[in-house]
Structure 1
Amino acid sequence: MCGIFGTINYRISEEKALDCLNRMIHRGPDGYGIWQEDGVTLGHRRLSILDLSENGRQPMSYADGRYEITFNGEVYNFIEIRRELMSKGYTFKSDTDTEVIIAAFIEWGEKCLDMFNGMWTFAIWDRLEKKMFISRDRFGIKPLYIANQGGRIAFASEMKAIMPLLDKTDINRSLIERYLKNPHYEMQDECLVEEIKRFPAGFCAWIDASGNIEMKRWWNTLDHIVDVPAAYEEQVEKFRELFLDSCRIRMRSDVTLGTALSGGLDSSATICAMAHIMNGADNDRVNNDWQHAFVATFAGTPFDETRYARQVTDHLGINSTFLNIDESVSYDELLNKTYLFEDLWVNTQIPMMKIYEQERKHGTLVSLDGHGADELYCGYNFDALRALPDAHFKMHDVDNIIRAYVDQLSDKEADVNSSEFKKKRNRIYVDNLIHYYGRRILGKPAVDSSYTGHPAWKELDNLNKALFVSTHETVLPTLLRNYDRDSMAASVEIRMPFMDYRLVQYAFSIGWKSKLHDGYTKSIIRDAMAPFMPKDIAYRRTKVGFNAPINNWMKTCYREMFADIMNSADFMNCDLIDNPAQVKADFEKVLNDDSVSFSFACYHVWNKLQLFLWEQAFIKEKGRR
């Protein structure tokens, strides 16, 4: 994983190219490369993961120098693709996936993308045809931004690397206004800087030497629904097979592996799968130095899951590093982290950045994490309620859905035969059906989506429609962006086994019952991975989530800093905030009213405060180091 940069039809000096690249030095601290010719620049900041020698240096040339590539990400099945290419006569000088990508592109053209299992953005310049091919992975795990100034093209892994080349820099105030109403803007092409656009996930493009761009969508999950076994038990077996293979190929690395472990189902399943894989044989290029778990703890808050994480590491017999995040960072560090993050989110990313800093400090450069499972396989209890119309008035199924919903909120398992449960079930069921059928009567879809016109959309049940939107349009794209920034700020590569395209296909090919079987959220994951995990973790019903306890922090370690900021003239005069005085009043409310919720602290205080921090850190570059 690295940082890439480039221009087309835009002559810049090597010094200017290096200035752009070095704004992403955190993405690639192990070296850099720049290639330039006739108004084309390709740049690369390297984080060495595969083939640590100079043979892995980028930009990389191939076919006697006809092609040049800059690449960010990983193609996990590169070994299998390389073998097929070698059987066709291709030769390789390195042991990298980068060289395999170029050869695959030469052999199969755009169709090579269908063969890749991984996460990526890359640009290949054909010196003979004077054209560039750019691609972003299926789900946008790796970021890519692009600016077009009258045919002068610049692109990079982060916005900050493009900004030195802009004729002007305008804050996208309209997007900020929309963000404050709905924080999920990652699947829009608009960015917080008006002159920069987001290159969309699952798209590729051809760009000629004059800067003309031809965009093409190469991936839509709805085009790839697969046949699945009819029996739930067979579906579980198939999921297990896919997940273990996904973890196996993501353990291919020439540097140390680890896991950011929460003690929840997803991260626990991931590290337990790693342990199981290492008990097998013939693990091609899999690194056996994987026994490194890193746990963020929040002592004295509802977000602390230390005891669950310890159960997992004790079960596996491995050591773990516990990081108690209870101290504030300095104002300068807060600005720096805001600069590195460069986007907006409703809660601070400090805990996530800190945990990856610890991984880096302890020599772990690749982290296999559990992101994506909640959105794909129904991990959030509020999503479970979207299955109620799918139950078709079968009360046994309704009970299982409601049970999945209520049990996530309490350590005590619900008694479906109790009058208390039935009363709650009836209220929730009626409320949700009124909403569902009310929308249908009004001619509105039960689930809003830009995919409703696709023939396969109509075949999805209501739960899977809701999860599809979360996966492709709202929640997950935002989380993928966040974790890319959080990990790369510390020069650590995240790999996500649940985001293997085969598991994404599978998720929307099975029905809702396979995700809520027997009243459990993510039931197919639980039943598939239970043989390798502590049973209490596999079938733990409560869910906490990895969040900063921002309401607690406002009253303790960040109280003085936030108060100083809000008392400053710069904050009171920040025109990105509609009413700074009200934000200050809301902050006082958090301090003095113990009944104020976590959500209130996020949306009414942090969400506004970060606008000031973002402008200071990113636009005015006070966070740059």
Structure 2
Amino acid sequence: MCGILGKVDFNEKINKDDFVQSLALLRHRGPDNKNILELPNALFGHQRLSILDLSKNADQPMQSSDGRYTIIYNGEIYNFKSLKKQLSNDNKHWKSNSDTEVVLKSYEKWGIDCLDKFEGMFAFVIWDNLKKQIFGARDRIGVKPFYYYSKNQSFTFSSRPSPIIKLNKNLQNHFNLKSIELYLHAGYVPAPYSVYKGICQLKPGQYLLWNQKSDLKIKEWWSSNKFIEKKEFNFINESEIIDKLECLLLESVEKRLISDVPIGVFLSGGLDSSLIASMASKIKRTQIKTYSIGFENNKYDETYYSSMVANHIGSDHKIKFLNHTDLLNVLDEFENNFDEPFSDSASFPTLAISKFARKDVKVVLSGDGSDELFGGYNYYKFIEKFHLILKSPLFLRNIIHYLFKLVPSHKLNLISECITKKDIIEIYSFMRSVSKNFHNSHPSKTINPFYELYYESFKKMPKNETPQQYASRLDLLHTLGDGYLQKVDLSSMSFSLEAREPYLDKNIVEFALGLPFKYKLSKNISKYILKRVASNYLPKEIINRSKKGFEVPISEWLKGPLKKWSLERIEDNTLYHNLPININDVRKLFKVHLKGYRNVTPYLWNVIILLNFIQKNRNLS
């Protein structure tokens, strides 16, 4: 795991001092080694976090034996050893035992088709010094980030946007209004957008080609839409499906335990991380290290469950108990390393547990991806009910909408909003939006950009699927790919910790996409098939407990320790320039929160994070 940066410019000489300073912004992603390679019209830089082959032989940027190709790579290819065996027929001389060299030689042998052979997480660029061409690619689900800027025979790429800004100062404080509108609905900036004008993200499952003529081609090499429900599952015994999933999970966990440095597991006490920890313990047959965050406030504490699992599997379990001061102390790391607005408050405990685990290990396994693949969200239960309501005549839905509006109930008001939407995708975008009905305060009169984002994704999906299948596909693309994975990457890499996600193994993802939804949500039981697998590994109390996220008392903080900090941003009128929100609406929102009239925390926090981001960037310029 690393930080990557590069710039190719056929118009102007690249300022090396600026490049060095830009690369330094990624040091937290890879503090073990820093290298810069200077070529005609190009500079490539790499901050390395050494995980496999700790020797200098695996340092980057890495060049092919003839000097034609240069790779700058961030990620892990879990099947690199089997690929190396295939490549060894043509390559007798290897200078390292790293997956980086395998990626480079794979491209030399197979070209772009090498991507189909990789199982893992990655974002990389390979520079062809003969053709003067960049080939860049991102993994299937988007575990690793890839940002780029292309203009006038110049191309810059990086793991994060901030180094690109430093290398291209014309981009500073020029924000993309559509990205900000999307952020206000989603709480993150989705690919292919960036909050900065001109900077883009490469979408998951895409590659790009750029050449000296500034021709930029972007193509899709993998898509979840290529995988549909397999009818043969309806004729297979359920026990066979359970066995198959168990085998896939064990194989995935085993691959992600390959490392030349110590490994641990994030253990929340929920089903997903507990199953990963139990399987890791079974595979290693030695005591594994597990890490949990506890809260002094019992309302948010889950250490009873994480300790139960740790005792069950016999792990070396460590718990860090936090109060609000401890969580607020990671605000500096949040501000420094989240270089685009991002409002998921679970970032704070994720930062805290990453800092805690990094004292012992350099790699952790996490449970991300299970909910999206195996029907873990309650939204999937609701969306089917709304689908039935949509079949009712419009006049009847309007009457229900009007009646619900008369009742002073926040939940009923949200339901009334849903039943007036024109289709199931608009309903789901509303359910997933942090802005909910607050978007009415946005001055923009255009179509809701969040619904537009979802609808554009929906149009590319297989036809004639159920609302639940479409909802889970949208979550895989956006809630997970654009949101949660970014949170985990930024939080863990803030402390030079590599996070690996066993549920997002290629074989598991493609298996889950072909699985009928009745195996995911059955008789109102979420993650049905995964729970059947877990019954061989975990106590029933863990398997049957209700789903609970990484909750943080943001609502209480905004009334207490963060009140002054928030008001300083809310009352700064200069921060609202060109934003699709105004100061009076935000003041009213904050007053509603302080008075406790209704729960406005998600959207209020969303707005405050945006204002804080604008203020921070203004102060840096």
Which TM bucket (shorter chain)?
Answer: 0.7 to 0.9
Residue matched to 2:178: 174
Q: Which of residues 301, 305, 312 in structure 2 aligns to 1:304?
A: 301
Residue matched to 2:199: 196
Residue matched to 2:513: 508
Residue matched to 1:119: 121
CA distance in 1, matches of 2:387, 2:96: 52
Q: Contact (CA 8 Å) 1:378, 1:384: kept in 2 or not? A: no
Matched, 1:381 2:378: yes
Q: Contact (CA 8 Å) 1:226, 1:509: kept in 2 or not? A: yes
After superposing the two structures, state which structure 1 stretch, 162-171 or 65-74, moved more: 162-171
Unaligned runs of 5+ in 2: 390-411, 431-450
CA distance in 1, matches of 2:90, 2:372: 40
Matched, 1:601 2:601: yes
Q: Contact (CA 8 Å) 1:70, 1:124: kept in 2 or not? A: yes
Residue matched to 1:62: 64
Aligned with 1:12: secondary structure? Answer: coil
Deviations 1:33-76 (A, max 9, x none): 11121112211110111111111110011223222111001111
Q: Contact (CA 8 Å) 1:133, 1:206: kept in 2 or not? A: yes
Q: Which of residues 363, 368, 380 in structure 2 aligns to 1:366?
A: 363
CA distance in 1, matches of 2:132, 2:574: 49
Residue matched to 1:291: 288
Q: Contact (CA 8 Å) 2:330, 2:348: kept in 1 or not? A: no
Deviations 1:146-167 (A, max 9, x none): 1112221111000001012222
CA distance in 1, matches of 2:74, 2:46: 8
Distance 1:184 1:468, change over 3 A: farther
Matched, 1:549 2:553: yes
Q: Contact (CA 8 Å) 2:182, 2:188: kept in 1 or not? A: no
Distance 1:318 1:614, change over 3 A: same
Matched, 1:242 2:248: yes
Q: Contact (CA 8 Å) 1:136, 1:202: kept in 2 or not? A: yes
After superposing the two structures, state which structure 1 stretch, 518-527 or 167-176, moved more: 167-176
Residue matched to 1:351: 349
CA distance in 1, matches of 2:182, 2:217: 29
Map 1:532-547; keep pairs closer than 5 Å.
532-540=537-545, 542-547=546-551
Q: Which of residues 161, 164, 170 in structure 1 aligns to 2:163?
A: 161
Distance 1:620 1:129, change over 3 A: same
CA distance in 2, matches of 1:611, 1:619: 12
Residue matched to 1:413: none
Distance 1:195 1:61, change over 3 A: same
Q: Contact (CA 8 Å) 1:184, 1:475: kept in 2 or not? A: no
Matched, 1:575 2:561: no
Q: Contact (CA 8 Å) 1:339, 1:614: kept in 2 or not? A: no
Give the total of aligned pairs: 563
CA distance in 2, matches of 1:197, 1:545: 30
Shift of 1:347: 3.5
Shift of 1:607: 1.7
Q: Taking every aligned residue pair, what percent have the same amino acid on both sides?
A: 29
Q: Contact (CA 8 Å) 2:369, 2:504: kept in 1 or not? A: yes
Aligned with 1:620: secondary structure? Answer: helix
Q: Contact (CA 8 Å) 1:142, 1:484: kept in 2 or not? A: yes
Distance 1:381 1:453, change over 3 A: closer
CA distance in 2, matches of 1:445, 1:17: 40
Residue matched to 2:23: 21
Residue matched to 1:419: none
Instruction: Give, as a single letter, the amino acid of the residue that structure 2 aligns with 1:546.
Output: F
Q: Contact (CA 8 Å) 2:145, 2:159: kept in 1 or not? A: yes
Map 1:452-463; keep pairs closer than 5 Å.
452-454=458-460, 457-458=462-463, 460-463=465-468
CA distance in 1, matches of 2:385, 2:505: 28
After superposing the two structures, state which structure 1 stretch, 40-49 or 80-89, moved more: 80-89
Matched, 1:341 2:342: no
Q: Which of residues 26, 50, 53 in structure 1 aligns to 2:52?
A: 50
Instruction: Give, as a single letter, the amino acid of the residue that structure 2 aligns with 1:35.
Output: L
Distance 1:366 1:145, change over 3 A: same
Distance 1:224 1:610, change over 3 A: same
Residue matched to 1:613: 612
Deviations 1:435-469 (A, max 9, x none): 599749x9x99996435555x71253331121001
Unaligned runs of 5+ in 1: 280-287, 393-427
Matched, 1:529 2:526: no
Instruction: Give, as a single letter, the amino acid of the residue that structure 1 aligns with 2:255.
Output: I
Instruction: Give, as a single letter, the amino acid of the residue that structure 2 aligns with 1:310.
Output: S
CA distance in 1, matches of 2:331, 2:472: 34
Q: Contact (CA 8 Å) 2:327, 2:348: kept in 1 or not? A: no
Deviations 1:75-96 (A, max 9, x none): 1110111111113444311111
Aligned with 2:463: secondary structure? Answer: helix
Shift of 1:120: 0.5
CA distance in 1, matches of 2:119, 2:140: 9
Shift of 1:346: 3.1
Aligned with 1:133: secondary structure? Answer: strand
CA distance in 1, matches of 2:135, 2:204: 15
Shift of 1:506: 1.4
TM-score (norm 2): 0.84
Distance 1:145 1:439, change over 3 A: closer
CA distance in 2, matches of 1:621, 1:259: 37
